[in-house]
Structure 1
Amino acid sequence: MHETPPSTLLLNPDELGPDPAPGMDLAVKLGIGHLEIRSAGGANAVTLPADRLRHIRALADERGLKAAALASPLWKWCRPEARPGRVDTFGFPTQVPPEERLGWVERAIETARILGAPVVRVFSHLRVEPELTEQLLGDPLLAKALELANAAGVRLLLENEPVCTVAHAESLLEILDRYHGQGLGLWLDVANLHEVGQATPDVVRALAPYVGYVHVKDYRPTDGGGRAFCPAGEGVVPYGEVLPLLHAARPALPYALETHVRDTPADALAAGAAFLRSAVPGGVA
């Protein structure tokens, strides 16, 4: 009888700052062997030249770490004439002419190849003025991107992002049902799902077959109606309920810590790692 391999824990080095080395050193200290790469040196990873990307990979290799995911900004964009609100894309423009987008898809896949990352995050177009908001369902670029990713041995995973067009379970399931056979999976951000009021057992069970990656962050509501980010397990996101459901349906998932805790990110990551190791059935490695 074969035992199910443990789930995997990931850390994003840019949570500690623009230099990836301190974040990688923290990963080693915390016994985390896998990385999510999003930015370095204040620039989005997909904008970096090949030699910079090879340097990042060398830094990881020296520490025995592997890049397990590229947190790309693909489809977190709108047309140049649209007016997006404040959006965090980590050094990537939000207004991208349609004729330039295929080039960015190709660049992201090449970035993943250089880093050795097997999965690439995508989004679903920013929600802007209704008449200018684009839709992911039926977007010919998505079909082309999936074709290119499959040829490169890379998998595209769609994140549920509230500032984008596909954030609720209904639209997520519509997209995933349509494109899952072409390789598209779900980059599930549990906190984002909770933000839209859908981190419920029924929704998690419905989405679970598509999940290929899990983003873990947490927050507490503030008096002004905002959010204060905190270490995973210390906020209102119902991980105690969600994580066992995900594990039951999809054992051995990658769980990536994304704290957004600005003042003490290293402490927040350490606390989040300890929480996940206790909260995910079977633990995380």
Structure 2
Amino acid sequence: MWTLSGFADEIDPDPHTQFQTLNELGIRYVEFRSAWGTNVLDLSDVQIAELKRLLAQYGIGVSAIGSPIGKVGVHDDFDEHLARFDRALWVARELESPYIRIFSFWIPDGDDPAKHRDEVLRRLSALAARVGDQDVVLAHENERKIYGDVPSRCLDIVESVGSEKLRLVWDPANFVLCDVAPFTDGFASLRPYIDYLQIKDARRAEGQVVPAGEGDGEIPETIRALRDDGFDSFFSMEPHLAYMGESGGFSGVDLFGKATRAFTGLLDAEGIAYH
């Protein structure tokens, strides 16, 4: 069965409210990005220990660390960023997360991404190598305005780095907002490397994020193909229905529930089992 997760900080900054709402929706995993209004990598050791206690209390596991690694400029200091990455590795170990979400660096407005390819690949290769034999995988998200924002460059990243420690996140809304028809233009080439999905949809004409199935993200076609080839991993709710910004998004309790029911409705319509 497929496993639902979610960015619970889209529900509320307070982890009690986050985890209680996940329980009410039947979601037993969280993609952990922030709590108490603080990014996961900036939480203290004491706060991480409290989160471990709360996760156990509510019976919730961690599907991924929703880190901001790689969400800095391609010319920003990389050594400083590596220290932040070491914190991400530590948090992943503490919270027993199998994945750390990462990005492939902001490209200056107006620049040809190809000019920055070598530096992006150098940095991502260094991140993958730094994982070493730790039991965690880096999951690259196709965020807008980074090097890997369209299918061809996502493919370039994962094939050029060539590490089993680097896989892909599939985010259909982000592709739509880059003028890509996700399933039509990218699924076949990227499928061998897709380990993880983030669920939000978008309408290209308005540039608006909408619940799954209400936009141009070709989500029904995608889930049918994944079902048919035996995919078995996480689907993480990231609705962005109230607010969307460079550091994340927000939905609130009601809209997060609406988004979850929209996606599970698609799964039910296709006869796909999930938990």
Quick one: structure 1 residues 107 and 230, their matched pair in 2 at CA, closer, same or farther if it must change by over 3 Å? same
> What is the SS of the residue equivalent to 1:214?
strand
- Counterpart CA distance in 2 for 1:148 and 1:237 is 34
The aligned counterpart of 2:248 is none
**CA offsets, 1:87-125, max 9 Å, x none?**
xxxxxxxxx423301101111111111111110011111
1:146 and 2:141 matched: no
| Maintained 8 Å contact 1:160/1:189 | yes
Please, what TM-score do these two structures have when normalized by structure 2? Answer: 0.86
CA contact (8 A) 1:137 1:175 kept: no
Match of 1:203 among 175, 180, 186: 186
Q: Is the 8 A contact 1:76 1:126 kept in 2?
A: yes
Please give the per-residue CA displacement for 1:117-137, whole angstroms capped at 9, x wherever unaligned. Answer: 110011111021439974466
Q: Check if 1:275 corresponds to 2:268.
A: no
Cα offset, 1:143, TM superposition: 2.3
> Match of 2:89?
109
The equivalent residue for 2:174 is 192
Rounded to whole Å, the distance in 2 between the matches of 1:269 and 1:25 is 17
Amino acid aligned to 1:211:
I
Structure 1 equivalent of residue 227 of structure 2: 247
In structure 1, stretches of 5+ residues that fail to align are: 1-5, 83-95
SS at match of 1:21: helix
- Counterpart contact for 2:104–2:124, Cα < 8 Å: no
Cα gap change, 1:209/1:59 in structure 2, threshold over 3 Å: closer, same or farther?
Answer: same
Q: Distance in 2 between matches of 1:14 and 1:147?
A: 30
How has the CA–CA distance of structure 1 residues 236 and 60 changed in structure 2, closer, same or farther, with 3 Å as cutoff? Answer: same
Gaps in structure 2 of 5+ consecutive residues: 243-250
Tell me whether 1:97 sits opposite 2:77 in the alignment: yes
- The answer as to 2:201 corresponding to 1:218 is yes
Measure how far apart 1:138 and its partner are: 5.8
TM-score, normalised by the number of residues in structure 1: 0.83
Identity %: 25
1:25 and 2:25 aligned? no
Structure 1 residues 142-151 or 10-19, which shifts more? Answer: 142-151
1:64-75 paired onto structure 2 within 5 Å: 64-75=59-70
Structure 1 residues 68, 276: closer, same or farther in 2, change over 3 A?
farther
RMSD: 2.4
Q: 2:151 aligns to what?
A: 169
**Aligned partners of 1:205 and 1:246 also within 8 Å:** no
Structure 1 pair 283/276, CA: closer, same or farther in 2 (3 Å)?
A: farther
SS at match of 2:13: coil
The verdict on how the C-alpha distance between 1:180 and 1:20 changes in structure 2, with shifts beyond 3 A counting, is farther
Farther off after superposition, 264-273 or 203-212: 264-273
Tell me the distance in 1 between the aligned counterparts of 2:230 and 2:192.
7
Secondary structure at 2:163's aligned position in 1? helix
1:273 Cα shift?
4.6
- Kept in 2: contact 1:204–1:246 (CA 8 A): no
Q: 1:273 to 1:197 in 2, by over 3 A?
A: closer
CA offset digits 1:15-48 (Å, max 9, x no partner): 1121122121111111111110011111110111
**Is this contact kept in 2: 1:15–1:265, CA < 8 A?**
no
Q: Cα deviations across residues 177-236 of structure 1 (Å, max 9, x unaligned)?
A: 122434210011112223332313462121111011001102345xxx543333222333
On the 8 A contact 1:169/1:198 being kept in 2, the answer is no
One-letter amino acid matched to 1:190? P
| CA distance in 2: counterparts of 1:38 and 1:46, whole angstroms | 8
Going from structure 1 to structure 2, the CA distance change for 1:61 and 1:208 (only over 3 Å counts) comes to same
Taking the aligned partners of 1:232 and 1:201, their CA distance within structure 2 comes to 17
The answer (yes or no) to whether the contact 1:28–1:63 under 8 Å persists in 2 is yes
Which residue of structure 2 aligns with residue 125 of structure 1? 105
CA offset at residue 283 of structure 1? 2.1
Q: How many Å apart are 1:277 and its aligned residue?
A: 3.4
Matched, 1:35 2:15: no
Paired amino acid for 2:3: T
CA distance in 2, matches of 1:23, 1:268: 15
Q: Distance in 2 between matches of 1:280 and 1:148?
A: 40
Shift of 1:59: 1.0
Mapped partners of 2:122, 2:224: distance in 1: 37
